[in-house]
Chain A
């Protein structure tokens, strides 16, 4: 399978703080890749560079063979091809559930209202939120908000979904409903890049696990390899620490 995303020598600094250092990494079509690592290791920044919410300082990011860091690359069009799910949900507070899922389709993709609503309903059903289309974000629980956020991203029918710790700000009893949706999506052949602290989930659904530490990819491999036979000392330490916490 060909690479959808191919990152070469990517670097990113905030002032003097070098957050990503010479990252090389790729994602194939249909692959589910989980990114793990301690807080501050640069996981979010890496995801945000991929959809250009952050501007990298160096390196190349090829998306379906084209370098998205070329000046002539249209960043707005690029972002429509990547769905992003945030830790804090970030549903549009001024729109109800349905409009959260249609506004991007109509205003950015230029779809008709009918088509947008149909598409939105389809994905709201997928995440089990089809009954809540009239609710406003403030009227939903965290788990419901995150499922709507997933439907909003899916409604744009992206090639790749990026998840940045989608369950980290949820109450424990709501983590399951979101992970269940994500497992379904992973099983459906969607290309997914997931930053997560849910090790069980990573073990179960990923084709590949990437461990990041202090701005570099310290180790990557199959879930069996990373979780059962980590080679790097810092991977072992991280896993020991995080598994003890759980």
Chain B
């Protein structure tokens, strides 16, 4: 590896590197977000309490079965093989020619979704039953309970796993070069091939990958800390001492209930 070549390749090809990195980031971000959404949806469906009997029970069981099969399949096969099957398969079997970028987003999102749904399910199960009960006790239904009480806690809990998945996606999108998506690895291959300088080109690329994953990890860490809010709370002034609690009871009818 020669410094001279490092410099030469970078100065000549930096726009290509940057464009490749941009595509990699784009696919990773979109797919992580869509995948997390898929994961949340599946996690919620998986935790709907099964009715004791009836058509709804059968329906839910079928849906759960299909979703489990999806998860097992995508977790149990390499992404590079899925890419080939989906991209070339759709052309051969259905005669549809899907756009490379669309195929890329589809493949990575589905994979992320399969992985995240397990994370979300774990996240929902780990929420204390008391949270559900308290929500039900004030009259919330399953969806209201999920939206207002459970999912915000689940999302906070799965944030580290989501960030991790984002970083994994940045690194794993390279497999998409098999279907000629112009992400960073694909671009590097072209640059290296043009100059027969593989070591230098891929060294530059390794640094770009590292900068991306490192930055993303830091940003997520800061974001997590922001979400947790300040460690202390502000007490309000003692303004209510004017009115004794006892004087607020009963008199104005507030506490005696609505009936």
Contacts and interface: CB of A to CB of B under 8 A. Distances in A.
Bound pair (A, B): yes
Contacts of A4: 259
B94 to A, nearest CB: 44
B229 interface: yes
B248 A122 contact: yes
B136 A103 contact: no
B235 A131 contact: yes
Interface string B134-148: 111111110010001
A132 interface: yes
Interface in A73-122: 76-84, 86, 88-96, 103-104, 107-109, 122
A80 B153 contact: no
A179 to B, nearest CB: 14
A157 B258 contact: yes
B248 A125 contact: yes
Interface centre among A53, A86, A107, A154 (most CB of B within 10 A): A107
A29 B258 CA distance: 11
B131 A132 contact: no
How many B residues are at the interface, by size bracket?
A: 35 or more
B54 interface: no
Contact of B249 (A78, A84, A134, A188): A188
Given A93-B153, A94-B156, A107-B144, A190 B255 contact: yes
Given A126-B245, A128-B245, A134-B234, A156 B259 contact: no
Contacts of A185: 249, 255
A161 B70 CA distance: 46
Contact of B138 (A79, A125, A133, A188): A79
A159 interface: yes
Interface string A169-195: 000000000000000110111110000
A160 B258 CA distance: 10
A206 interface: no
Nearest to B258: A157
B1 interface: no
B257 interface: yes
Interface stretch (B56-64, B166-174, B195-203, B236-244): B236-244
A14 to B, nearest CB: 14
Interface in A121-161: 122, 125-128, 130-136, 139, 149, 152-154, 156-160
A154 B254 CA distance: 9
A156 B152 CA distance: 22
Contact of A90 (B131, B237, B238): B131
A139 B233 contact: yes
A133 B130 contact: no
B224 interface: no
A126 B138 contact: no
B250 interface: yes
B257 A130 contact: no
Interface of B: 128, 130-131, 133-141, 144, 148-149, 152-153, 156, 229, 232-238, 240, 243, 245-246, 248-250, 254-259
Given A76-B140, A92-B149, A152-B138, 18 more contacts: A4-B259, A53-B137, A83-B137, A84-B134, A89-B130, A92-B134, A103-B148, A104-B138, A104-B140, A125-B248, A126-B245, A132-B235, A149-B134, A157-B258, A158-B258, A188-B256, A189-B250, A189-B255
| Top-6 shortest CB links A-B | A90-B130, A104-B138, A90-B134, A188-B250, A80-B139, A188-B249
Interface of A: 4, 29-30, 51, 53, 64, 76-84, 86, 88-96, 103-104, 107-109, 122, 125-128, 130-136, 139, 149, 152-154, 156-160, 184-185, 187-191
